[in-house]
């Protein structure tokens, strides 16, 4: 149990054409990992299904937000809950776009992300969002927070 870092280089001939870094990827005794050039897929419970997608450290913030919205759209949950989560993500996206480079703005964004995480955890505890789906959403929110 712990974390690991990885650097992936795409090579054509003898030339490195792209390098992706992944930091602090969580690892347990049962974790299975599939590494691609821009993502690392994690099967955290060893059941053969990849529950989490870790994006490289240099992945664009807007790409992550859009990936998160697509993930929420595909969830098999009540429509009202889906709409509510998407609205929260869209509000976060607006705040990020308006973000100023100061500590107060950054703390406000981190608080907003934590509030969304808490909502997802609450819905998970009530059985309204599956464990795997909740962990996937939380993982993406944490990746967004790291890039702020």
Decide: 139 and 64 in contact? Cβ < 8 Å: no
pLDDT for residue 147 is more than 90: no
pLDDT at 102: 63
What average pLDDT score do residues 87-115 get?
86
Say what the pTM is.
Answer: 0.83
Closest Cα to residue 59, out of 38, 76, 73? 38
- What mean pLDDT value characterizes the chain? 91
What the block records as the tokens of 103 is 């500590």
pLDDT of 140 over the 90 cut: yes
- Indicate whether 101 pLDDT > 70: no
> Looking at residue 78, what is its pLDDT?
95
- The helix (run of H) or strand (run of E) holding residue 113 is helix 103-125
The whole-number average pLDDT for the span 122-128 is 96
- Of residues 72 and 35, more confidence is placed in 72
Please list the residues that pair with 55 across neighbouring strands.
39
Q: Count CA atoms closer than 13 A to 29's CA, side-chain side.
A: 0
- Identify the pLDDT of residue 26: 86
């Amino acid at each position: 149990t712990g974390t690991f870092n990885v650097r992936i280089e795409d090579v054509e001939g003898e030339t490195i054409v792209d390098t992706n870094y992944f930091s602090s990827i969580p690892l347990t005794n049962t974790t299975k990992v599939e590494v691609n050039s821009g993502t690392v897929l994690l099967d955290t419970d060893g059941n053969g299904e990849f529950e989490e997608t870790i994006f490289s450290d240099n992945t664009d913030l807007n790409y992550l937000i859009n990936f998160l919205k697509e993930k929420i759209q595909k969830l098999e949950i009540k429509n009202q809950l889906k709409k509510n989560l998407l609205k929260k993500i869209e509000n976060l996206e607006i705040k990020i776009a308006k973000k100023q480079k100061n500590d107060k703005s950054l703390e406000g964004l981190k608080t907003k992300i934590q509030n969304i995480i808490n909502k997802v955890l609450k819905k998970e505890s009530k059985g309204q969002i599956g464990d795997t789906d909740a962990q996937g959403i939380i993982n993406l929110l944490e990746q967004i927070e790291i890039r702020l």
